[in-house]
Amino acid sequence: MIIRVGIPVSPGVAIERAFVLEAEDTHIAERFIPPEAVEGALARLERALERARADVREMRERYAEVLGDETAQIFRFHELMLQDRSLLDEIRRHVRERHYSPEYAVSTAFRSRIRMIRSLHDEYLRQRDVDLYDVERRVLRALRGTRQEELQSATGEVVLVAHDLTPSQTATLDTSKIIGFATDVGGRTSHTAIVARALGIPAVVGLGSLTTEVTSGDLVIIDGTKGRVIVNPDEDTLRTYRARRRQFIEFARDLAELRDLPAETRDGHKVTILANIEFPEEIGAALDSGAEGIGLYRTEFLYADGKEPDEEAHFQAYHAAVEACDGRPLVIRTLDLGADKMTDSIVQLEKNPFLGCRSIRYAFQRPELFKTQLRAILRASAFGPIKLMLPMVTTLGEVRRAKLMISDVMDDLEREGIPFDDRIPVGIMVEVPSAALIADFLAREVAFFSIGTNDLVQYTLAVDRVNERVAELYQPSHPAILRLILGVIEAGWRHGIEVSMCGEMSGEVVYTIPLIGLGLRTFSISPGTIPEVKKVTRSITVREAEEVVDRIFTFSDARQTESYLQERARRIVPQLF
């Protein structure tokens, strides 16, 4: 029996024989062609590109309906890559001017893109390198006239073990055969993880060298809840996991039934669950999972390709978002560039980026860029209800300054006769301790607060949120954090403004009860966690939640609070622990 621990990315338990997917050899030899073969090679290249485009289009159409928008989005992204003029011209130039073989030209151009994307600071973007690999392999296969058969050759139900799965491999898994998967590499935000969750297949990634330890036919348990993979388990272990699998299947059935039920406590208090998104294309899937609107649209992802979008590009994105929300709430956050987001592409590198010129500070340094975005948001506000949210506010002066700029932009639009919502609510993220501590002052100036615990925890506890070496100290249940959250919620009550929370803390079931007990009624979370948060919400009364808060406020240590809260949540959703 071998036990390996990796990163749990999609909960549940799968027990089956392994199918080990051999890695595709992508090593392309350095090959050149004679001058007279160039035209023929270019024609072969164009045919292969066309074939690859047709394949992706077919996959998108075939799988979009079954797998939803998020997955279709991956293929849309692949289609865009296959139309990317600068990439394609580079490949053609390699063939025409350097006389590279088409295979070598394709590989050279893609590899240089992959190196570039890997050097980015943003983890989400860095992980998009698998998409580039995926498209590269597809074009190479089209050039060679081969198709990928390996996955189809699996017979009967199997758990898939692979070094890595490309997004399209993952998306096209035959779920009637493949009931779980484990990969050597990958991270929480990789597409494999996203798609695994969309498919509801238990999955563990980041297992190191599992593929070298498993042979096709071995019996494998994948525990996607705890991140464990067990190869050739003994009888006792097998019995335990069979019971866990049964429990999880019942749990998933329960959750699915909650989809159309309201998020309200057992004693009838309404909780609003909104979703966090990075791209407007995610809105459809978020609403399908039960979101009542969008509580955080992280617009800085418009800068993901390293280019500065113009007003029209901003407007198109916000217009698409407001249309997709169709009258439901939509909170658009202004640019949160810098630190962990898009640093290489637009913001200067700094020694201390989290304490530097990020977010609203950067917006003030680039007023033309900020005003361009404000104009686009305001223009989109004529098409449906939009709230505008300012990130990383630390002083009252920043709020006043931003509001002045908004009113300048409104004046311009009015002069130009362009319609907008002149009563657009302007709120702020409360994600820095100073803002939390002066929440009562800030509440007089803004229409709403959204607590950003990702940064609030990092700044309060002095723990870099992206540094795994201090991850142990990143404690949302630290008494300092709980006190700050309570202070912000109470300031909101006193001044009659809405307080929501959009940090990851609000999507973790461990914190659902105390947050309700603290008075939070609006949660903005990753779409995937909506059913479980709803389940916990519907299982408690406000009185019980308040008692939990009374109890944890007597604890002086985050560890004690954490284990108490885990125990409480475990009683409701044991399948997630």
Q: Which residues are catalytic?
A: 191, 502
Rounded CA-CA distance 2/233 in Å is 7
Distance CA 167, CA 18 (A): 20
CB 515, CB 506: distance < 8 Å:
yes
Site string for ligand PEP, 491-510 (x = CB under 6 A): -----------xx-------
Site size for ligand PEP, by CB under 6 A? 10
Which one, 135 or 321, has the nearer CB to ligand PEP?
Answer: 321
Compute the Cα dihedral for 117, 78, 65, 224 and give only its sign. negative
Smallest distance, ligand PEP to C-beta of residue 522, A = 14
Q: How far apart are CA 312 and CA 85, in angstroms?
A: 21
Question: What is the closest distance, in whole angstroms, from the C-beta atom of residue 275 to Mg ion in the complex?
Answer: 16
Closest by Cα among 225, 220, 218 to 204: 225
Residue from 455, 504, 508, 532 touching Mg ion (CB under 5 A): that is 455
Decide: is 223 part of the binding site for ligand PEP (CB under 6 A).
Answer: no
- Token code pair at residue 224: 């996607």
Q: Is 467 helix (H, G, I), strand (E, B) or coil?
A: coil
Q: Which is nearer to ligand PEP, 276 or 575 (CB)?
A: 276
Rg (CA), the chain: 25
Q: Does 122 bind Mg ion (CB under 5 A)?
A: no
Strands 219-223 and 228-231: antiparallel
Answer yes or no whether residue 452 interacts with Mg ion by CB under 5 A: yes
* CA atoms of 32 and 512, how far apart (whole Å): 61
Query: Does 431 help bind ligand PEP (rule: CB under 6 A)?
Result: yes
Q: Which is nearer to ligand PEP, 139 or 286 (CB)?
A: 286
**What one-letter code names the amino acid at 366?**
R
What's the closest the beta carbon of residue 521 comes to ligand PEP, in angstroms? 18
Q: Which token pair is 306?
A: 């390293």
Q: What does the chain come to in residues?
A: 577
Binds 421: which of ligand PEP, Mg ion, none (CB < 5-8 Å by kind)? none
Q: How far is the CB of 383 from ligand PEP (least distance, A)?
A: 25
Question: From the centroid of its chain, how far is CA 31?
Answer: 40
Tell me how far, at minimum, the Cβ of 77 lies from ligand PEP, in Å. 21
Nearest distance from residue 340's CB to ligand PEP, in Å?
Answer: 7
Q: Identify what 12 binds: Mg ion, ligand PEP, none; CB under 5 to 8 Å per kind.
A: none
The answer to whether 420 and 374 have CB atoms below 8 angstroms apart is no
Judged by beta carbon, residue 9 or residue 525, the one nearer ligand PEP is 525
Q: Which of residues 438-467 bind ligand PEP (CB under 6 A)?
A: 452-455
Residue 460 near residue 484, CB atoms below 8 Å: yes
Residue spans of alpha helices (H) in 384-478: 396-416, 433-437, 439-443, 453-461
* Residue among 389 and 573 whose Cβ is closer to ligand PEP: 389
> Which of these, 195, 200, 207, 230, lies nearest to 69 by C-alpha position?
195
Phi/psi region, residue 296 (left: phi>0; alpha: psi -120 to 50; beta: rest), is: beta
- Taking CB under 6 A as the criterion, which residues in 261-320 touch ligand PEP? 296, 298
Copy the structure tokens of residue 174: 């035959």
For residue 275, the minimal CB distance to ligand PEP (Å) is 12
CA distances to 117, 186, 198 from 113, rounded to whole Å, are: 6, 19, 28
Q: Which is nearer to ligand PEP, 207 or 457 (CB)?
A: 457
User: Residue 298 touches which of ligand PEP, Mg ion, none (CB < 5 to 8 A by kind)?
Assistant: ligand PEP
Q: Does the protein bind Mg ion through residue 6 (CB under 5 A)?
A: no
CA distance 498 to 488: 10
Of 101 and 453, which CB lies nearer to ligand PEP in the complex structure? Answer: 453
Closer by beta carbon to ligand PEP, 507 or else 519:
507
- Quick note: the x/- pattern for Mg ion over 202-231, rule CB under 5 A, is ------------------------------
By a kind-dependent CB cut-off of 5 to 8 A, residue 503 interacts, out of Mg ion, ligand PEP, none, with ligand PEP
Cα–Cα distance, 560 to 563 (Å, whole number):
5
Among 136, 282, 292, 431, binds Mg ion (CB under 5 A): 431
User: Which chain residues interact with Mg ion by CB under 5 A?
Assistant: 431, 452, 455
User: Which chain residues interact with ligand PEP by CB under 6 A?
Assistant: 296, 298, 336, 431, 452-455, 502-503
